[in-house]
Amino acid sequence: MQPRPHYKFWPKRLPHSITVPATSLWHNLATSAARYPDKPALVFFGRVLSYREFADQAERLAGALHALGVQRGDRVILDMQNCPQLVIAHFAILRANAVVVPVNPMNRAEELKHYITDPDAKVAIITGDLAGELAKASNALPPGQRLAHMIVTQFTDAFDAGVSGEDAPAPAWKDWLTTRHPLPALEGGQALAWTDALAAGHPAPAHVVGANDMALLPYTSGTTGLPKGCVHHHSSLMHNAMAGQLWGGSTSEAVVLAVVPMFHITGVVSMMHTAVLAAATLIIMPRWDRDVAGRLISRWKVTAWTNIPTMVIDLMASPNFASYDLSSMNYIGGGGAAMPQAVAQRLFEQYGLKYQEGYGLTETAAPSHTNPSDNPKQQCLGIPFMSTDARVVDPDTLAEMPIGESGEIIIHGPEVFQGYWKRPDATAAAFVEFEGRRFFRSGDMGRMDEDGYFFITDRLKRMINASGFKVWPAEVELLMFRHPAIQEACVISTKDAYRGESVKAVVVLRPTHKDTTEQEIIDWCRENMAVYKIPRKVQFVDALPKSGSGKVMWRFLQDDENAAK
């Protein structure tokens, strides 16, 4: 293979590819705890957990999981907002030789059923505020498909509810974070308090998994049907954690603002696993709040912040922004949406920070592309990541496109997933052979410039990007069809000044429900789906445009919506 053009912009201190360790991800925590036992690992509203305490709690929780019958390769649901327990539970599941199934905490019971039945999960670890919704989902399933055990933690298991001053939660969060919820009734199963699970003293099993065992089963939606599980071995996550540490120059002295959700592949790999590998400190935020972020960056001398651009825009718009000290920061970057050039320029002029955009998918364990720190290009995906080859091809013929011309981005590298869980058909469709190697079809249209940098031009897949959250119209439509008033629904994107894009539903009502209002539809959606998927607008029509074969012609509706702006 000829040298790729981007190699001339490659950081000179780094190799083009790396060897992935044969060990599991658990070894990264065990090693960091052995090397830096007293170093702060997790910080949450002033409570500091050392690496020794972090590893010890993960060991004890792994013992509790083993006592509940969790065996090698079993899938365990992890459903939480960012908090220390999420990180501890994630590593405890790995320590127990099991597989983490990260679930978006915004999902409601109707959505959650799929995350129980598809991975055949029998055990879940969850916070008290969400436990009732997951129990509701489980209880609605047939007896053989329900959860058997649920370990429930309260946020105040990890911080002092009475904390005051600069360590106190945002006022709007106080009740949410300090309320202790009763254990839910789990039909045919048992709910167990987190504190009791840790106190039980069950020994963890022998740790026997390695690089080629499954570690993570995150779910991603697509153009049709329900979300699909992406099979990731320890090796694919390990590659991107190690490559991320090298690329970003992260050390044990790094202090990371952990506000990107750690159920999302970027939060899991680029933030959590990379930080634990380096023995860095994670300053954990459960939700986004610009002034909490500003105070935490200033107080804890945050050095690295992975984010989505809307967070940076919001922070810089705060009337208190001038009082925050960002001088400790040496890395800021992210993806999910393009960073506006004016904001990136202001970051550079005020703080000397070059915002590093990147690109990746759940299937590629977060980054498959990223910008080199010395030579970033704005509103650009970057160059193929370490050990990675990426090309732009004609989506029909798979012929490589000339420089500057648009085609589908395909990706080959050790970070690429093994395939879709229980979906050999979808797996076969997701990969192509190119130059004798297996490449993943991203579904995104892009181009490569003469320097080897990649740029998004369009989406081959049907998808809405709302503040960095991917919304798949087919999934929202499936949920909306359960509404008794909806005969047909087509979901499209609508422009949003803050979110970039929001969800709009074009709906045909059943003849018996013609008096249904837009607000009634939106309220029902709020009860039955994650908040970022909820249509912000509902348009009622007499019929949806259809092709001769009866397929809804969503592009016509999308083009009309775009033209109306």
pTM: 0.88
pLDDT value for 199: 98
The pLDDT-based confidence of 309 (bands split at 50, 70, 90) is confident
**pLDDT tens-place string over residues 18-66:** 999 999 999 999 999 999 999 999 999 999 999 999 999 999 999 999 9
Query: Cα–chain-centroid distance for residue 290?
Result: 20
**According to the model, what pLDDT value does residue 82 have?**
97
Question: How far, in whole angstroms, is CA 263 from its chain's centroid?
Answer: 5
Q: Give residue 241's identity as a one-letter amino acid code.
A: A
The contacts of residue 536 (CB under 8 Å, 6+ apart) are: 494, 496, 502, 503, 504, 522
User: Could you tell me the pLDDT band of residue 463, with boundaries at 50, 70 and 90?
Assistant: confident
The Cβ of residue 425 has, within 10 Å, a number of other Cβ atoms equal to 8
Confidence band of 459 (pLDDT split at 50, 70, 90): low
Would you state the torsion angle of the CA atoms of residues 468, 471, 472, 476, taken in this order, to the nearest 10 degrees? 180
Choose between 505 and 342: higher pLDDT.
505
Dump strand ranges (E) for 34-189: 40-44, 47-50, 75-79, 99-103, 123-127, 149-153
| Nearest CA-CA partner of 422 in 114, 195, 188 | 114
For residue 550, is pLDDT > 60? yes
Q: Would the pLDDT of 325 be above 90?
A: yes
d(CA 297, CA 166): 12
Cα-Cα-Cα-Cα dihedral of 276, 280, 281, 282, to 10°? -50
**Half-sphere CA count of 220, side-chain side, radius 13 A:** 29
Using DSSP bridges, classify how beta strands 486-496 and 500-509 pair: parallel, antiparallel or unpaired.
Answer: antiparallel
pLDDT at res. 1: 54
Residue 473 has pLDDT above 90, yes or no: no
Which pLDDT band holds residue 149 (cuts at 50, 70, 90)? very high
pLDDT digits (tens, 9 = 90+) for 74-108: 999 999 999 999 999 999 999 999 999 999 999 99
Q: What are phi and psi of 107, to 5 degrees?
A: -65, 145
pLDDT of 374 strictly over 90: no
Percent of the chain scored above 70 by pLDDT? Answer: 97
Q: Specify the amino acid at residue 512.
A: T
Mean pLDDT for all residues in the chain: 93
Which pLDDT band, with edges at 50, 70 and 90, does 297 fall under?
A: very high
> pLDDT confidence of 411, banded at 50, 70, 90?
very high
Query: Which residue segments constitute the domains of the chain, with CATH numbers given?
Result: 26-334 (3.40.50.12780), 363-459 (2.30.38.10), 464-563 (3.30.300.30)
- Max CA separation in the chain (angstroms): 68
Q: What is the reported pLDDT for 549?
A: 57
